[in-house]
Structure 1
Amino acid sequence: MGTTDIRLPRGVTIRRHRNEETINITFTYKGVKCREPLSHLTPNTKNIKYAERLLGEIYNNIGRDAFNYADYFPKSSKLKIFGKTCHTSQIKHYLCEYLAICQTRNLSPSTIRGYKKCMEALRDLHEVRAADLTPALLKNWIKNQSTVLKTIRNQLSFLRSAMDEAVIDGVIPMNPVSLIKASRYRSQQSEQSQYMVDPLSPDEVSTLLRAAGNQQWENLFLFAINTGLRSSELCALAWKDIDFDKRKASIHNASVVGVLKTTKTRAGKRKVDLNGDALTALTRQKLFTFEKGEFVFEDPKTCQPWASADAIRKKAWVPTVKKAGIRYRNPYQTRHTFATRHISQGANLFWLASQMGHKGPEMLFRHYGAYLEEYDGHTDRSAIRLTVPPSKGAA
């Protein structure tokens, strides 16, 4: 019996080509008439019945809002309309897709870098199918994490946004990340931050400055300790921001991964008072960069402005701390050193908050509560004076 004698069900047709025939099925999906060939099937009674059952399955899934075009026709030209995602797509696919979306939106380099770290931290979930991600699976993942609660929340926030794309694609009916709370599965101890305020003592400051192997490094560290600027703000500080007459520095930019950007918050734009030691650092630094007329601090090895806080840490801070023989802390502790020194001197907290770029003193109580209590008028203030070593000249 030839194919001309076979009764064809509704929606199933046979298309004749020069050398062969193919079974085609026709259906309507999202208002679009779709015709797809089943090129792997020889037109016969058995395969035509299979095509009829397949067509019924497709309509059933469309009715249940569970149809995904790519699952059935991964090479179809209709995927230009309906998308190429299939139900077998893994979580990594959506993490990569969302990261690409963020890069297209021109988010800041620091934000993109943070998202990449989140993606790496979620590597245990990369191979899981998006359709198989459940609140129970996330619960176990959270319990097995050793990082602090804030970090886990950041990672889940990135995952939640990525899985929203799977919802849009119809791979999952709802976002399982929205159904889970990380704090429910973390002990009180695990919620405590591993980061500590660990300022340098006056003796350690003096030792650090003496150990700086380069005059420009020493100027940078001395200025940081006496102004409380973040490393990213030090990178972006320009000579035009310095008012020597009024003894002020205007802070309105930061350099992140070599990109100049405005400060993160409105309070971050501020005028910082310059004490004698800060002015000493600037006076010494004039010899190196003032005539260039742009940025105050530079990498003496390249004679270019510092690209980022990480560059300062790796190239200048780490070798200096090692040479000084003092206990290692990250460069951000220069900011804490500035804050705790002024607290010990009984400084006005509203003034101190404004100098550090905080909206108000609440942040000071959060980070330096123990120091505020300790230095509440009971400290010998002469003990906290920093000693500035004499200039070594260019190294």
Structure 2
Amino acid sequence: MGEKRPELPRGVTIRSHKTGETINITFTFKGVKCREPLSNIDVSPKNIKYAARLLGEIHNKIERGAFNYADQFPKSPRIKQFGNSQSKKTVKEYLDDYIELCKTRELSPSTITGYKKCARALASLHSFHVTELSAAIIKNWIQQQRTTLKTMRNRLSLLSSAIDEAVTDGLLPSNPVSLVSASRYRNEGITSESTYVVDPMSPFEVEAILKAAGNIQWENLFRFAVHTGMRGSELCALRWEDVDMINNTAHVQTASVEGITKGTKTKAGKRKVELDVDALRALKEQKPFSFIHSRFIFLDPKTGSPWANAESIRKKAWVPTLKKAGVRYRNTYQTRHTFATMHISKGANLFWLAGQMGHKGPEMLFRNYGSYLEQYDESRLLKKNNRD
């Protein structure tokens, strides 16, 4: 006996004919019941699920008034009934639609934010009608870029996913983005190394920043950041219940991104951070402001609510404080680098330090702070020779 076929989703049917079977989808458009075959795919559980998703997307487009029959089914006889003009959708519109689709799939806010940044970086391609997009145009775009290979690939990955929808809509026979390799056509003069620089604050700069903080809650936040090495998103989500005042530790379990609390960036990110005298001082001085009023430790003084994200801290508190202190600008992540280099200069055990920062092992420390480790070793060797 043949394998029993699972129950078909509503609107999806299987039609048998002389040459085999075809998946059909049924929907109502402009008061007309429409049935369209998906003749380019085999009948399988996987493709039945695909047909159900496609039907859901069609229903969504119909509700939004964005459905064009010719786009979706360019060879359908019903085009004559509904009009045979294909929509003039641009690359930007497909990028926007894809990001909206990702939102409905409930991808993380940080992922959506990253996609939006990639989409903005593709601005020179936005105005192209999607049917005009070609491998030659993508090749030319690659050659004009001045970013790292990794960044370029991230942007092309988003573009490729968006243009896949145009292929599904029948506007393109194949995806031109998939025909081009970024590594092959990139400008040879561009280095593959990241332009990000580890640029920690000196002890004098840290002192100046803390003195210039315009609010005691800002000062507490900055002091705690420098002396724990926590990420900004982790600081935003840190709660009083996460702190163990008996053992002087803080249990990092969550992070706040775009105002949404979620798990830490990595599995290793879930950790217990040892609190030194300065970190404990920051908590003690912060207690009157948030212990009774909120579960969260660090609050935005202007709203009385937890900080939404690290970017909010940067704009509202960090930038004005650095200006007032006369300290050269660095982003807030440099407090984390300051923590690392401060402990490296003291000869801290690298496995311990990696654990404090939420790394799997010391490899990341060597990658980011190799020059500081070399300087420390040279300084220690010099001191030893002087003693000898």
Report the TM range for the smaller structure's normalisation.
Answer: 0.7 to 0.9
CA contact (8 A) 1:200 1:334 kept: yes
Aligned to 1:251: 252
Aligned to 1:158: 158
Structure 1 residues 205 and 176: alpha-carbon distance in aligned structure 2, compared to 1, 3 A threshold: same
- Quote the Cα distance in structure 2 between the aligned partners of 1:74 and 1:338: 68
- Quote the Cα distance in structure 2 between the aligned partners of 1:85 and 1:175: 22
Matched residue of 1:140: which SS? helix
CA contact (8 A) 1:70 1:86 kept: no
Q: Which amino acid aligns with 1:113?
A: T
Q: Which segment drifts farther, 163-172 or 100-109? A: 163-172
Structure 1 residues 368 and 71: alpha-carbon distance in aligned structure 2, compared to 1, 3 A threshold: farther
The total of aligned residue pairs comes to 316
Please list, as runs of the form range in 1=range in 2, the aligned pairs for 1:74-89 lying within 5 A after superposition. Answer: 76=82, 86=86, 88-89=88-89
- Quote the Cα distance in structure 1 between the aligned partners of 2:259 and 2:274: 26
Matched residue of 1:255: which SS? strand
Gaps of at least 5 residues in structure 2 are: 1-34, 40-71, 384-388
Q: Which amino acid aligns with 1:130?
A: V
Please list, as runs of the form range in 1=range in 2, the aligned pairs for 1:305-320 lying within 5 A after superposition. Answer: 305-320=306-321
CA contact (8 A) 1:68 1:87 kept: no
- Quote the Cα distance in structure 1 between the aligned partners of 2:191 and 2:125: 21
For CA contacts below 8 A with separation 6 or more, give which structure has more relative contact order: 1
Matched residue of 2:250: which SS? strand
Q: CA RMSD in A?
A: 2.7
Give me the TM-score of the superposition, normalised by structure 1.
Answer: 0.74
Aligned to 1:39: none
Query: Could you tell me how far 1:72 is from its partner in structure 2?
Result: 8.9
- Quote the Cα distance in structure 1 between the aligned partners of 2:344 and 2:172: 53
Aligned to 2:62: none
CA contact (8 A) 2:144 2:187 kept: no
Q: Which segment drifts farther, 290-299 or 320-329? A: 290-299
Query: Could you tell me how far 1:372 is from its partner in structure 2?
Result: 1.5
List per-residue Cα deviations over 1:55-89 (Å, max 9, x = no partner): xxxxxxxxxxx971489938729xxxxxx993753
CA contact (8 A) 1:71 1:86 kept: no
Structure 1 residues 348 and 70: alpha-carbon distance in aligned structure 2, compared to 1, 3 A threshold: farther
1:73 paired residue among 79, 86, 98: 79
- Quote the Cα distance in structure 2 between the aligned partners of 1:71 and 1:89: 22
Query: Could you tell me how far 1:264 is from its partner in structure 2?
Result: 2.2
Aligned to 1:127: 127
Q: Does 1:272 align with 2:273?
A: yes
Gaps of at least 5 residues in structure 1 are: 1-27, 33-65, 78-83, 383-395
Aligned to 2:301: 300
- Quote the Cα distance in structure 1 between the aligned partners of 2:174 and 2:365: 41
Give me the TM-score of the superposition, normalised by structure 2.
Answer: 0.75
Aligned to 1:10: none
CA contact (8 A) 1:70 1:85 kept: no
Structure number with larger C-alpha Rg: 1
